[in-house]
Structure 1
Amino acid sequence: MIFLNSSQDLSDKKSELNKDYDTSKSSFNFKYIFETYGEKRISFPNNIIIETINDINNLKNFYNMAFNIYKNDKFWIPPFWIEFKYFFNKKNPFWKHSECRLFIVKKDNKIVGRIAGLIDHRFIEKINKKIGYFGFFECIDDYNCAEALLKTVQDWLISKKIEIMRGPINGRVDLGCGFLKNGFNSYPTLLSSYSPLYYISFAEKFNMTKVREQFCYYIDLTKPFPKKLEKKAQECADSGIKIRKFSRFFTKKDMDMWVDLFLETFEGHWGYVPVKPEEVKTRFGIKQMRYINVPSLFLIAEYNDSPVAYIWALPEYNQIFKSMNGRFGLYQILQFLLKKRQINIGRMPLIGIKKEFRNKNIGSYLNYLIMVEMKKKGYIGADVGWIDEKNTVAHTTIAITGAKLYKKFCVFDKDLYNSKKVL
């Protein structure tokens, strides 16, 4: 569960949010952000070649190569092609303040890996550090190929005067963050990452160091709820906090309210980038909220009729999405509608509380109500996460539910400034 908490006045950031870096203005005739790159080939020893992605057909190769990596992995769930493709569309507001390069690696003329280099200028401006990302990384178990990919992105970031290479982050922390460190014997949940264990060794061999770990928890809903959780929930209910469901009848109104609350409570979260509400509304899961949202699992906490916190939980739709194999046509939509009642696991990815309302047991109250509702629906458990390793308040709150840590993800950094001096 990504726990969000801040009360900074977002109105103070209007000038920053309205700043338009527009890294794609020079390419107005193209649909995708990568179509202006031009063709580039870089040769490495051992018959390894890096190629730049510069058209939609190559993007399909970039996407499809992951199926070869995971062809014998029963747990991997492919992303939807339609969403994968949209991320790189110039209409995505993300590209108003970001840029990227996409590369594939070939060995013996076969595609065996991929990587993206990404720079979010708004993030750099916020933290005042020249950090760039590598993301969308996939590769066969061959360090020579992985090194060629990582070095290519490293060199591109250095050419852009970036001083720290961080990843894997697929553009934003909520799109994919970290290599999986443990918890390989279960399916990835909605909006979470998945990768083979050997990716960790790739990062370490490339002289990257762990900068952060992200944790996921599992709540066993077949067990009685902890008495401490019930007590804290009751104390919060007695304090005047009122809970209501997200309204399907007033979706736009509640969506606008929630996005503002989301942005306010996300401030201060690790990896946070201040963006306009319109950008949040285009993100996967949010723009489909009207169709995937279950009102009884999306709760708003109010005090004196004013929203002060929320929790957004969902059925674990990946139980259905796995069989769709990355496709989302009419057949898959019908399949989704017919099978969604068979889901027996819940997902608790987001909770946010305004700063002045923390330490009032609101988190425990919301967690308790969601757990009660999930149990009513016949769910046997719930995935919670991810939670940043340094978010001690969130770890303490989720521990009260009886949740057990079951997955860790690692994000790595490499100091390019010192590496460049050595070279």
Structure 2
Amino acid sequence: MQREASHSQSDKIEIRPVTSRRELRTFITLPRLLYKNMKGFVAPFDMEQEGLLDPRKAAIFRHADIQYFLAWRGKTPVGRIAAILDQRAIEYWQTKIGQFGALDCVPDSLIVAALLQAAENWLIDRGAVRVRGPVTLSGNGETGCMVEGQETPPMVAMPWHPPQLSRLIEKNGYEKTEDLLSYSLEITPEIEEHFPVPGGMQIGKGRLKSITTRSLSKKEIVAQSEILRKLYNDAWAHKYNFVPMQDYEMQAMVKQIKPLLRPEHYVQIDQNGEPVAMAMVIPNIYDITADLGGAPSLSGWLRFAHRLFTHRFKSARVILLGVSSKLRGTILGSLLPSLAIRELMQRSKKQPYRWVELGWIQESDTGMRSLAEALVPHPHKRHRLYEKPLVKR
């Protein structure tokens, strides 16, 4: 087990805002440099991280004020953090809650405290009364601090942190507000039997006569993604930390994952022609990038392109699952999540996936947890969200 770093008089930590393209590059690539020797960490592509963090590329910068900070020990960068004022979140929550995110550093209490203080001061100066996080850079993206599962296989769009980081966040006055759980489901020939339909009902017949399903169409992906966005916003509106996804955010996400998608990766359930539920699974990009590093060589990029073209994946993640609010609390509404996942699992037989990650699921969402834990008794990963009141200096 890696221990928290010890300190001496010479361990001076300096926190500086990111103000140049060179510093931004350091900010984006820092985690793969800090964590490269830590067990369980697999470096994401720098190009992927640029899509999340570069103000010229990340959609969230259209409605959020964000300041990046780097922690330096001498000339060596040893940590990073983002302070975030998401105007859409503030409007929706009707409270000026700021957020912190992209928190990555060596497991050192001085560094964590200094980074959090820098983000808090920036938020306080702009009128925030509470701070919540971590998120990268939105609750619709990578969310939470990993507290369990560091040595499990990495999964697309899920953050990785060393085991000590959550404890160091808590030392700075942050309290847990929600845990986000992920479950690993093995794909077997009989997988759909784990999602039974009561009374042998069938979609499009009998009591489900009004129910139909749709797959993904790359020709219609823009129109379908807008349906997906509206249904997602409706289905998740009552969840903790939810912020309505903007149309340009959905377009950016679809653009990023489109090369991975196939028709069977998306299920839309309609009732009398109106969308009422959806589920989407995406292949786990780490299956084909884990041995290439964050900045592949030319031969590495060629290997990546070949693996992507031939779909050399062994796992995937259910990233979206929701039911229209108008069916919440009804018998059909309680049945639709199982129906949607059943459809996905049936289609997954055409793919090489050996397992699928169901996540994340909020710990307080007893309905979705019951569905997941009927198949997999215990989560294999846990990410945590925190909050803290801010006091004006």
TM-score (norm 1): 0.81
Matches within 5 A, 1:53-132: 53-86=18-51, 87-90=53-56, 92-132=58-98
In structure 1, C-alpha distance between the alignment counterparts of 2:366 and 2:85, rounded to whole Å: 29
In structure 2, C-alpha distance between the alignment counterparts of 1:79 and 1:256, rounded to whole Å: 28
Match of 1:406 in 2: 380
RMSD over aligned CA atoms reads 2.5
Contact 1:176 1:192 in 2 (8 A): yes
Out of 115-124 and 85-94, give the one that drifted further: 85-94
1:144 aligns with 2:110: yes
Report SS of the residue matched to 2:225: helix
Question: Where does structure 2 lack aligned partners over 5 or more consecutive residues?
Answer: 1-8
In structure 1, C-alpha distance between the alignment counterparts of 2:363 and 2:147, rounded to whole Å: 13
Contact 1:346 1:374 in 2 (8 A): no
Contact 2:216 2:224 in 1 (8 A): yes
Code of the aligned partner of 2:41: W
1:288 aligns with 2:256: yes
Q: CA deviation at 1:68?
A: 2.6
In structure 1, C-alpha distance between the alignment counterparts of 2:145 and 2:49, rounded to whole Å: 19
1:322 aligns with 2:274: no
Q: CA deviation at 1:183?
A: 1.1
In structure 1, C-alpha distance between the alignment counterparts of 2:13 and 2:327, rounded to whole Å: 56
Match of 2:6 in 1: none
1:163 aligns with 2:129: yes
- Deviations along 1:63-89, whole A, 9 cap, x unmatched? 232223211135323333334334332
Out of 128-137 and 315-324, give the one that drifted further: 315-324
Code of the aligned partner of 1:356: K
In structure 1, C-alpha distance between the alignment counterparts of 2:385 and 2:61, rounded to whole Å: 23
In structure 2, C-alpha distance between the alignment counterparts of 1:288 and 1:234, rounded to whole Å: 39
Q: CA deviation at 1:387?
A: 0.8
Q: 1:84–1:357: structure 2 CA closer, same or farther, 3 Å change rule?
A: same
- Deviations along 1:337-362, whole A, 9 cap, x unmatched? 42243312121111121123344211
Q: CA deviation at 1:119?
A: 0.8
Match of 2:159 in 1: 193
Q: CA deviation at 1:143?
A: 0.9
Match of 2:4 in 1: none
Contact 2:139 2:243 in 1 (8 A): no
Match of 2:181 in 1: 215
Q: 1:329–1:244: structure 2 CA closer, same or farther, 3 Å change rule?
A: farther
Contact 1:189 1:316 in 2 (8 A): yes
Out of 108-117 and 51-60, give the one that drifted further: 108-117
Code of the aligned partner of 1:63: I
Structure 1 runs (4+) greater than 6 angstroms displaced: none
Match of 1:336 in 2: 304
Code of the aligned partner of 2:289: F
- Deviations along 1:311-354, whole A, 9 cap, x unmatched? 11122222113234234797555433422433121211111211
In structure 2, C-alpha distance between the alignment counterparts of 1:412 and 1:70, rounded to whole Å: 23
Report SS of the residue matched to 1:250: helix
Match of 1:177 in 2: 143
Q: 1:347–1:91: structure 2 CA closer, same or farther, 3 Å change rule?
A: closer
Q: CA deviation at 1:115?
A: 0.9
Aligned length: 374
Out of 296-305 and 355-364, give the one that drifted further: 355-364
Match of 1:247 in 2: 217
TM-score (norm 2): 0.87
In structure 2, C-alpha distance between the alignment counterparts of 1:168 and 1:66, rounded to whole Å: 15
Q: 1:198–1:228: structure 2 CA closer, same or farther, 3 Å change rule?
A: closer
Out of 292-301 and 59-68, give the one that drifted further: 59-68
Contact 1:115 1:134 in 2 (8 A): yes
Match of 1:394 in 2: 368
- Deviations along 1:118-150, whole A, 9 cap, x unmatched? 111221121122211111111112211221111
Q: CA deviation at 1:47?
A: 1.8
- Deviations along 1:97-128, whole A, 9 cap, x unmatched? 21111111112332111111111122112112
Q: CA deviation at 1:307?
A: 2.0
In structure 2, C-alpha distance between the alignment counterparts of 1:257 and 1:315, rounded to whole Å: 22
In structure 2, C-alpha distance between the alignment counterparts of 1:353 and 1:234, rounded to whole Å: 21
Q: CA deviation at 1:216?
A: 0.4
Looking at both structures, which has the greater relative contact order when contacts are Cα pairs under 8 Å and sequence separation is at least 6? 1
Report SS of the residue matched to 2:113: helix
Code of the aligned partner of 1:409: H
In structure 1, C-alpha distance between the alignment counterparts of 2:158 and 2:307, rounded to whole Å: 21
Matches within 5 A, 1:348-387: 348-358=318-328, 359-360=331-332, 361-387=335-361
Match of 2:279 in 1: 311
Report SS of the residue matched to 1:287: helix
In structure 1, C-alpha distance between the alignment counterparts of 2:49 and 2:11, rounded to whole Å: 31
Report SS of the residue matched to 1:249: helix
Contact 1:107 1:145 in 2 (8 A): no
Q: 1:45–1:288: structure 2 CA closer, same or farther, 3 Å change rule?
A: same
Q: 1:233–1:57: structure 2 CA closer, same or farther, 3 Å change rule?
A: farther
Code of the aligned partner of 1:114: R
Q: 1:254–1:226: structure 2 CA closer, same or farther, 3 Å change rule?
A: closer
Q: 1:347–1:233: structure 2 CA closer, same or farther, 3 Å change rule?
A: farther
- Deviations along 1:238-259, whole A, 9 cap, x unmatched? 4122122111333333233323
Identity of aligned residues (%): 23
Q: 1:254–1:96: structure 2 CA closer, same or farther, 3 Å change rule?
A: closer
Contact 1:117 1:156 in 2 (8 A): yes
Code of the aligned partner of 1:48: I
Out of 286-295 and 199-208, give the one that drifted further: 286-295
Question: Where does structure 1 lack aligned partners over 5 or more consecutive residues?
Answer: 1-43
Report SS of the residue matched to 1:150: helix
